[in-house]
């Protein structure tokens, strides 16, 4: 009751009408059983998987809408999905670069509040770094689902940590630090938004939402059997717009004589700078073709790029991976899941965030070679690429993971679980866990 009062007072304070506006085809009202509001951070790696899930829900007759940044308005419109603006005056929100900032999260909350007044969702779906959906689910008394990364980032059962190749409890310590850090941010956000304080255990549970969709499979995720019941492995939810990049297609067709294709996804390396100087010196002019997605790279690209390089801020990896022989990545979820779905070996250079944990799993499974990006040189890069090319165990392990991933249709399984959540099904609710 208190949460409902808070939500209603915010609506009145914001001057948002108590609207009955809906989205979707009114003629199909008889088959729309639930309404799902997706609230991803405004980045392809966060938006695209949710688009894939939302399209499956819409195919089943549900109503879906998005609250996210303005840059994705056209993409969503092309898919027949509504993006609800931030308010009567639209503007940016859900910026990935400031996901941790209380003011930025406050903007997320206001955006979700407006979207909720317009769309009347039954379920809110956010990402693991999205505090706005978490707190607004509480304020509006709505169930919240969280779409996670390619591995569980919080502490895992200790018996499984000891089976890894790392020093004892090293991964556990990282997970504990990450959980503590995110709980501290959650307390700061709750204070900023005038929400009541919660205990440390409640905060830890809160970060999982009512349902946590882990983009992994038990064969890939250490300790999957010991994870909390609300954490469900759904496999890969990678999705991309169906329209191909025509320039990329022409380049691939015209450069076949240059050799095999290596795909590179250069994500953010936080304080570590850029891999690009070493990559350019090592692979520029080599007897291969490099197709690189560089939108999240720190630093500037050399101009012009080597003749055997094709560079874009965002490369549709589904257009490249079927033709590639290997992948170089900073170990972001989308690139790794895409690569493993095609059975490709990886050279991983993790900088922070989920990258370190995802890289550790891929190396433990034998599908990847990992290098420290801080000490990367053209020579070490060349040697590592040669190793994964010449040692068949990397490709064989990647093919094994490909087989495991292929048995799970991520968008379908995620949609099943979201339907269950909307219906008050078997997924535990916050009220049942004391959170």
Chain segment 76-100, per-residue pLDDT in tens: 999 999 999 999 999 999 999 999 9
Q: What is the pTM of this model?
A: 0.89
Task: Give the pLDDT confidence score for residue 6 in this predicted structure.
Answer: 46
Neighbours of 226 (CB within 10 A): 13
Core vs surface per residue 68-103: b (16+ CB within 10 A) or e = bbeebeebbeebebbbbbbbeeeeebbebeebebbe
The residue among 277 and 69 whose pLDDT is bigger is 69
Residue 340 token pair: 């493993």
Band of the pLDDT at 156, cuts 50, 70, 90?
confident
Core vs surface per residue 20-52: b (16+ CB within 10 A) or e = eebbbeeeeeeebebbbbbbbbbbbbbbbbbbb
Q: What 3-state class would DSSP assign to 158?
A: helix
Core vs surface per residue 405-435: b (16+ CB within 10 A) or e = beeebbbbbbbbbbbebbeeeebeebeebeb
The residue among 361 and 26 whose pLDDT is bigger is 361
Q: H or E element: which one contains 246?
A: helix 246-254
Task: Give the pLDDT confidence score for residue 165 in this predicted structure.
Answer: 56
Residue 63's nearest CA partner among 115, 121, 111 is: 121
Residue 415's nearest CA partner among 213, 130, 133, 220 is: 213
With 0-12 CB in 10 A as exposed, 13-18 as middle and 19+ as buried, what is 64?
A: buried
Neighbours of 141 (CB within 10 A): 14
What number is the average pLDDT over the span 426-430?
A: 48
Tens of pLDDT along 198-252?
Answer: 999 999 999 999 999 999 999 999 888 899 999 999 999 999 999 999 999 999 9
The residue among 297 and 324 whose pLDDT is bigger is 324
Residue 361 token pair: 């799993």
Mean of the per-residue pLDDT values of the chain: 87
Residue 418 token pair: 């979201």
The residue among 306 and 274 whose pLDDT is bigger is 306
Which domains are seen in the chain, by residue range?
A: 2-235+409-433 (3.40.50.2000), 246-406 (3.40.50.2000)
């Amino acid at each position: 009751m208190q949460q409902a009062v808070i939500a209603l007072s915010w609506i009145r304070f914001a001057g948002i009408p108590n609207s009955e506006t809906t989205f979707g085809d009114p003629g199909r009202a008889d088959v729309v059983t639930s309404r799902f509001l997706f609230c991803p951070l405004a980045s392809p790696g966060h938006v695209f998987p949710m688009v894939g899930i939302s399209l499956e829900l819409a195919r089943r007759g549900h109503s879906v809408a998005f609250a996210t940044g303005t840059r994705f308005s056209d993409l969503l419109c092309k898919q027949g999905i509504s993006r609800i603006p931030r308010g009567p005056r639209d503007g940016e929100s859900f910026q990935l670069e400031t996901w941790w900032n209380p003011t930025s999260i406050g903007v997320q909350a206001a955006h979700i509040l407006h979207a909720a007044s317009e769309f009347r969702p039954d379920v809110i779906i956010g990402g693991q770094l999205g505090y706005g959906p978490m707190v607004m689910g509480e304020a509006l008394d709505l169930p919240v689902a969280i779409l996670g990364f390619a591995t569980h980032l919080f502490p895992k059962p200790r018996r499984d940590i000891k089976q890894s190749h790392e020093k004892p409890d090293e991964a556990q310590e990282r997970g504990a630090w990450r959980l503590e850090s995110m709980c501290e941010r959650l307390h700061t956000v709750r204070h900023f938004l005038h929400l009541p304080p919660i205990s440390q255990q409640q905060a830890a549970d809160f970060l999982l939402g009512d349902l946590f969709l882990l983009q992994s499979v038990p064969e890939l995720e250490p300790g999957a059997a010991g994870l909390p019941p609300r954490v469900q492995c759904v496999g890969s939810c990678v999705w991309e717009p169906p329209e191909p990049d025509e320039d990329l297609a022409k380049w691939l067709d015209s450069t076949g004589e240059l050799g095999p294709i290596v795909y590179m996804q250069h994500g953010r390396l936080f304080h570590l700078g850029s891999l690009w100087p070493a990559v350019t010196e090592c692979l520029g002019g080599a007897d291969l073709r490099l197709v690189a997605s560089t939108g999240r790279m720190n630093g500037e690209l050399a101009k012009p790029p080597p003749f055997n390089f094709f560079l874009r801020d965002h490369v549709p990896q589904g257009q490249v991976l079927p033709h590639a022989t290997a992948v170089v990545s900073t170990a972001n979820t989308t690139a790794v899941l895409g690569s493993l779905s095609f059975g490709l070996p990886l050279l991983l250079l993790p900088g922070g965030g989920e990258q370190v944990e995802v890289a550790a799993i891929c190396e433990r499974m034998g599908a990847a070679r990992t290098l420290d990006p801080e000490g990367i040189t053209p020579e070490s890069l060349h040697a590592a690429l040669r190793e994964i090319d010449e040692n068949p165990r990397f490709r064989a392990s990647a093919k094994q993971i490909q087989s495991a991933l292929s048995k799970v249709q991520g968008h379908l399984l995620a949609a099943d679980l979201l339907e269950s959540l909307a219906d008050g099904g078997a997924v535990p609710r916050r009220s049942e866990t004391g959170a």
